[in-house]
Structure formats: structure tokens, C-alpha cells
Amino acid sequence: MAITVVGSVAYDSVETPAGKYERQLAGAATYFSLAASYFTDVRVIAVVGEDFGHEQEAIFKAHKIDIQGIERAAGKTFFWQGSYMENLNEAKTHQTDLNVFAGFQPKIPDAYRDSEFLFLANIDPLLQRRVREAMPHVKLVAGDTMNYWIKDHRPALLEVLAGLDILLINDTETRMLAGKNNLVLAARQVLSLGPKTLVVKHGEYGATAFFAPDITKGDSATAIRAFRAPALPLDEVVDPTGAGDSFAGGFFGYLASQRDITPGAFRRAMFYGGVMGSFAVERFGTERLQHLDRKEIDSRFNLFRELTHLE
């Protein structure tokens, strides 16, 4: 089933201990849609400037990603410059030019309206909410956010959370959103804000899904169930940019490819999230995500299984 994703399509300039690159196609919606495209049909809603051309379009088209929802506006595409020279786990931002993104008003093409899955990548929660409300019939909606929205746009963010099936954020964001340091207590607090499932991304330590108690199945109101997926121990992280968005794309893409979202399908989706995140960081930018095939992906999935399973 098709996924519609709304988020940023951008140019990044990035420096890491392994090297650097200038103005390459990036952005959360780009990483997400490339990762998800190996599993299902993906449709993108975003805005770009006049500097977005055939070369960039071709990257999406090579993965059969629908980009009729990528609007061309007068001006330049969103630009981010950052580095990871001291700490591969945390980007240092040197420059952020919102450009055309500052006036982004998501428009949903008619052809996207039968999408059954919706992913709200990390953008202004007011826009996330608007897209969510414009697509009331989706079967499953997941989203991301970041410290900036949690700190300074809380009321708007809370309205988004109330409408989410799955929230995917990292450890720091979970603790900040809940105002609690213990991760389980923080997760319980976040789940009380609306999401039925919280996926906490731990970077090199993998990710944990926390499920809201299902009182119809006899869970107590404070019960919490969880599932932990590993990350692959890598001897070189070339570029951590987009790892979280690639996780989300692998995770949600796999879920959307399944007829029913069983507990088993959900667990496999967590593994595929880790798999796509591990590919993303092996090369600069989106390079590795552009050139994969399903066989490589499934072979790495099996590696994740061997890494964690008793037999």
C-alpha cells in the first residue's frame, strides 16, 4: 500500500571525519522516501526552489517515487550545512537557509488521496496537522519531530501527537517531551499524549518500540510492552546524516508492504528500520540508499537476526 510522506527536500553540505560534500540532495523526506521505496510505493509532498532540476528528479524517479507533490517555488531550495567532526552522534549546524521552505504550504495532489499510510516527517507541527487533517482516511499515520518543536511549539505538537499511531523520535527527544529522565517512565508519558506506539531510536544501540497498554486485552493502565531491535556494529560511520529518516523509511515502508500489521510484521519492520539506517551511514548523503537491491537488504536483515537471536 502507498505511503504519502510530507517533509523537507533539501541540499546539504556536510563534513565528517571521513570527508565532505557540497550541496547534495538530502532532507528528511528524501532519505525517508528512498529507504521506503524498496518496500512500497511512495509519494512525496515538499517544496523546492528553482535550483532543483532534472538531476535531482531523476534520483526520485529511478525509485518510482511519485513527486507530483513536490512544488516548485520561486527562490532557492532549503539548504543545511553541518558537521560531525567531534561527535558522530550529534550534528553541529553551521548554516540553515530555509529559503522556499519558509513559506511551505503543503498541497496534496488528488492522486495521493488514496494513500493508506501517511508519514509526517520532522516539520512545523502546524503543517503536520494540516496534512493529517486533509487525509482523514489513512489507515496508519506515523511521525517524527525534534527538540526545537518540543521546546518552543509544544501546544501545536501536542495536537499532532493526539492524532498519531506511531511516533518515532530519539532518546533525548523522548526525555525532553516527557520531562522525565527514566526512559520507560518517559515512554509511558509520551504514550499518554496520543501515540499508540512510540519508537525510540538509540543510534548505535538500536531502537526500542514501546506499546501503549491495551486495556481491552487486560493490560493494566501502567503496563508497558516493548520490543528492542539492534543496530549493526559498524567499523566506519561515513556520514550519520539521515540515519533516523532512513530508519523511519525502512520501518514504515515495510509495514506498508504488509497486508496485516501483526505483532510479527511490526517486529520485522523494526529490524528493516535498523537495516536501512545501517546502509544510509555507510556512504555520504543518500548515495548508499540510491544503489541497493532487495537481496542486499534481506541479507542484512538476516545479519540482524543472527546478531540478536539465540538460535
The answer to whether 264 contacts a second copy (rule: CB under 8 A) is: yes
Nearer to a second copy, 80 or 211 (CB): 211
Q: Residue ranges of the alpha helices (H) in 125-262?
A: 125-134, 147-152, 154-161, 171-178, 183-191, 243-256
Judged by CB under 8 A, the residue of 55, 235, 260, 293 near a second copy is: 235
Is there a contact between 93 and 82 (Cβ–Cβ < 8 Å)?
yes
> What is the Cα–Cα distance from 249 to 155, expressed in whole angstroms?
27
Judged by CB under 8 A, the residue of 112, 271, 272, 284 near a second copy is: 271
Task: Please state, in angstroms and as integers, the Cα–Cα distance from residue 143 to each residue in 77, 118, 128, 196, 249, following that order.
Answer: 23, 8, 8, 12, 11
Nearer to a second copy, 104 or 272 (CB): 272
Nearer to a second copy, 115 or 174 (CB): 174
The answer to whether 283 contacts a second copy (rule: CB under 8 A) is: no
Judged by CB under 8 A, the residue of 1, 185, 193, 261 near a second copy is: 185
Q: Compose the 193-232 pattern: x for residues touching a second copy by CB under 8 A, - for all others.
A: ---------x-xxx-x-x-------------x-xxxxx--
Q: CB 12 → a second copy: shortest distance, Å?
A: 23
Task: Please state, in angstroms and as integers, the Cα–Cα distance from residue 70 to each residue in 38, 49, 106, following that order.
Answer: 20, 10, 9
Q: Which amino acid is at 179?
A: G
The answer to whether 187 contacts a second copy (rule: CB under 8 A) is: yes
Taking each continuous run of H as one helix and of E as one strand, the counts in the chain are 11, 13
In the complex, which residues of this chain contact a second copy (CB under 8 A)? 182-185, 187-188, 202, 204-206, 208, 210, 224, 226-230, 233-237, 264, 267-268, 271, 305, 307-311
